[in-house]
A and B are shown apart, each in its own frame.
Chain A
């Protein structure tokens, strides 16, 4: 099943932010969205997650219009990690991750176990009782990642699950960038559909099954990284001269600028 944008356009205060977007996020696949600043990547995520209603077109979650899902059921299928967090109250890390269990009625014991495992997975178990307000940017981002992971920790009988990440690695060092991509790949093997906005083309090329290149509110290209990443495309979209090489180990495309 899929999370699908069907001919979606978005007009906001006189601007065409998205024009006729058709995009399918497949369960069990990793979709990466790249593009220059202001290309409409975040706008698309906001429409895909129901935060903004599309001006035209529809979004379907597992074949059913997104807005017709009951809110709690939707929360069991679709977890969203925003780019910035507003949280400025002194929750501890495990309390923040525990918020991800709000849609579920699994009981305190199970929830505590999931919270601990999620923190462990993002290498943040040492933060368990530390205050969120006193963490570094990267630590905060890892705790928030653990929160959305806890939200879709177990498969749901309601259908395939999807995880939406807006620049999940922006505050991460090299090892945590790699860790995030490993987690994302691991989720895909569990049949979760992952869609994320990334800025680093090489990160995107390394982990995406489907790479979506955005430019000016339309999709400039989409497909497997090997097929679509060309020097012309990067010049056209980003205005940057580059060389596309091949990663000696992963055989994935490597963009050198």
Chain B
């Protein structure tokens, strides 16, 4: 029997996420009490500083965490279904490694004017990361597609090959960069939400909502795909179209979140896995529940990132791994006991 019904998990997360968000509003280098936060929200605050911290810095940051977390975890769930592999990851299709190269390239070649240089309010690094990520995915997809359709096995291998190539390019770029660039590259690769702005929130939010609206359409197809591709076809599913649609949406979602928040690892791999252990593999529930769980994890991780080394802060990506990995190991150990 399952540990939790899907509906009760969704309810728990629907309550937990706003609570985590509220608490997150109050923590950081400057502690703001919940009461002050409420006052400020109602426009009764007498401190401009508090208002500015809350609404110009923390709120966009929390919302960015919500959307990035939701996108990474839901695309992770979708990729695991599509590859019929519970340990698949959005990065399998090359999007993270490609984005990494794009970002490094921008940092190294455009390093001089990176602070000032911006395209409609976004840094060149973000634009480079998105283009790199999307291009790599497109390449992997094209490599794996022949006249008879896309082979997920070939895609997996092509993803590894492109990943290795991107790794080499990345090392090459690192080799030629100076100290300052090196620091920027490695900070970017750790994943960070500190650069949140309302513009980024708007872009990420639009992408997240688009994904949440379109994924449910294919959740039964994903369920059928777990049986195997020809079985799914015998159940009346246009497998090739489903694959193309889900890969494009994943590349878009992960590409944008990597561009805006860097490489936040772990969320896309482990969150869907943990949710599946709790409520089972039915994608009609798994995808939305993973999105909520990913959002919650990232909000909590980002709050901790802000307070563990006050007055400085840690990159968020370090915290997601630090939080999630032991939890995952505990789950595995428990599962081993049951079998």
- Which residues of A are at the interface with B, using a C-beta cutoff of 8 A? 49-51, 71-76, 78-80, 82, 85-92, 95-96, 99-100, 102-103, 129, 151
Please measure, in the bound complex, the distance between the C-alpha atom of A99 and the C-alpha atom of B234, giving whole angstroms: 11
Provided the pairs A51-B233, A88-B84 are in contact, do residues A71 and B281 lie with their beta carbons within 8 angstroms?
A: no
Please measure, in the bound complex, the distance between the C-alpha atom of A100 and the C-alpha atom of B237, giving whole angstroms: 12
Please measure, in the bound complex, the distance between the C-alpha atom of A103 and the C-alpha atom of B223, giving whole angstroms: 13
Q: Which of B268-282 contact A (CB under 8 A)?
A: 276, 280-282
Q: A86 touches which one: B84, B233, B234 (CB < 8 A)?
A: B84
Please measure, in the bound complex, the distance between the C-alpha atom of A76 and the C-alpha atom of B234, giving whole angstroms: 9
Is B235 an interface residue when CB atoms closer than 8 A count as contact?
A: yes
Is B245 an interface residue when CB atoms closer than 8 A count as contact?
A: no
Given contact pairs A51-B230, A75-B236, A85-B228, enumerate 5 new A-B contacts (beta carbons under 8 Å).
A49-B230, A71-B238, A86-B227, A89-B86, A99-B227
Q: Nearest A residue to B241 by beta-carbon distance? A: A71
Q: Are B231 and A82 in contact (CB under 8 A)?
A: yes
Please measure, in the bound complex, the distance between the C-alpha atom of A85 and the C-alpha atom of B233, giving whole angstroms: 14
Is B226 an interface residue when CB atoms closer than 8 A count as contact?
A: yes
- Shortest distance from the beta carbon of A240 to any chain B beta carbon, whole Å: 33
Is B1 an interface residue when CB atoms closer than 8 A count as contact?
A: yes
Collect the chain B residues with CB atoms within 8 Å of residue A99's CB.
223-224, 227, 235
Q: List 29 A-B contacts (CB under 8 A).
A: A51-B230, A71-B236, A71-B237, A71-B238, A75-B234, A75-B236, A76-B236, A78-B234, A79-B234, A82-B228, A85-B231, A86-B228, A86-B231, A87-B226, A87-B227, A87-B228, A89-B84, A89-B86, A89-B226, A90-B280, A90-B281, A91-B226, A91-B281, A91-B282, A96-B227, A99-B223, A99-B224, A99-B227, A102-B236
Q: Are B235 and A100 in contact (CB under 8 A)?
A: yes
Is B220 an interface residue when CB atoms closer than 8 A count as contact?
A: yes
- Shortest distance from the beta carbon of B88 to any chain A beta carbon, whole Å: 12
Provided the pairs A89-B281, A90-B280 are in contact, do residues A75 and B228 lie with their beta carbons within 8 angstroms?
A: no
Q: Are A72 and B236 in contact (CB under 8 A)?
A: yes
Mask, B270-301, CB within 8 Å of A = 1, is 00000010001110000000000000000000
- Shortest distance from the beta carbon of B269 to any chain A beta carbon, whole Å: 16
- Shortest distance from the beta carbon of A114 to any chain B beta carbon, whole Å: 15
Q: Nearest A residue to B239 by beta-carbon distance? A: A71
Q: Are B86 and A103 in contact (CB under 8 A)?
A: no
Please measure, in the bound complex, the distance between the C-alpha atom of A103 and the C-alpha atom of B236, giving whole angstroms: 6
Collect the chain A residues with CB atoms within 8 Å of residue B236's CB.
71-76, 102-103
Please measure, in the bound complex, the distance between the C-alpha atom of A79 and the C-alpha atom of B223, giving whole angstroms: 17
Please measure, in the bound complex, the distance between the C-alpha atom of A95 and the C-alpha atom of B6, giving whole angstroms: 14
Q: Nearest B residue to A84 by beta-carbon distance? A: B228
3 A-B pairs with the lowest CB-CB distances in the bound complex, closest first: A75-B236, A72-B236, A89-B281
Q: Nearest B residue to A95 by beta-carbon distance? A: B282
Please measure, in the bound complex, the distance between the C-alpha atom of A72 and the C-alpha atom of B233, giving whole angstroms: 9
- Shortest distance from the beta carbon of B212 to any chain A beta carbon, whole Å: 22
- Shortest distance from the beta carbon of B339 to any chain A beta carbon, whole Å: 8
Collect the chain A residues with CB atoms within 8 Å of residue B281's CB.
89-91
- Shortest distance from the beta carbon of B119 to any chain A beta carbon, whole Å: 42
- Shortest distance from the beta carbon of A160 to any chain B beta carbon, whole Å: 17
Q: B1 touches which one: A86, A87, A129 (CB < 8 A)?
A: A129
Q: Nearest A residue to B339 by beta-carbon distance? A: A134
Collect the chain A residues with CB atoms within 8 Å of residue B220's CB.
102
Give the one of A49, A91, A129, A151 with max B CB within 10 A. A91
Collect the chain A residues with CB atoms within 8 Å of residue B1's CB.
129
Q: Nearest A residue to B236 by beta-carbon distance? A: A75
Q: Which of B207-222 contact A (CB under 8 A)?
A: 220
Q: Nearest A residue to B221 by beta-carbon distance? A: A102
Collect the chain A residues with CB atoms within 8 Å of residue B226's CB.
87, 89, 91
Q: A49 touches which one: B224, B228, B234 (CB < 8 A)?
A: B234
- Shortest distance from the beta carbon of B20 to any chain A beta carbon, whole Å: 28
Collect the chain B residues with CB atoms within 8 Å of residue A129's CB.
1
Provided the pairs A90-B280, A91-B280, A92-B280 are in contact, do residues A71 and B227 lie with their beta carbons within 8 angstroms?
A: no
Q: Nearest A residue to B231 by beta-carbon distance? A: A82
Q: Are B235 and A102 in contact (CB under 8 A)?
A: yes
Give the one of B1, B228, B233, B234 with max A CB within 10 A. B234
Please measure, in the bound complex, the distance between the C-alpha atom of A72 and the C-alpha atom of B234, giving whole angstroms: 9
Q: Are A103 and B280 in contact (CB under 8 A)?
A: no
Collect the chain B residues with CB atoms within 8 Å of residue A151's CB.
235
Q: Are B282 and A103 in contact (CB under 8 A)?
A: no
- Shortest distance from the beta carbon of A120 to any chain B beta carbon, whole Å: 20
Please measure, in the bound complex, the distance between the C-alpha atom of A49 and the C-alpha atom of B226, giving whole angstroms: 19
Q: B231 touches which one: A71, A78, A80, A89 (CB < 8 A)?
A: A80
- Shortest distance from the beta carbon of A9 to any chain B beta carbon, whole Å: 18
Collect the chain A residues with CB atoms within 8 Å of residue B233's CB.
50-51, 71
Collect the chain A residues with CB atoms within 8 Å of residue B231's CB.
80, 82, 85-86
Please measure, in the bound complex, the distance between the C-alpha atom of A85 and the C-alpha atom of B235, giving whole angstroms: 15
Q: B280 touches which one: A78, A95, A102 (CB < 8 A)?
A: A95
- Shortest distance from the beta carbon of A40 to any chain B beta carbon, whole Å: 18
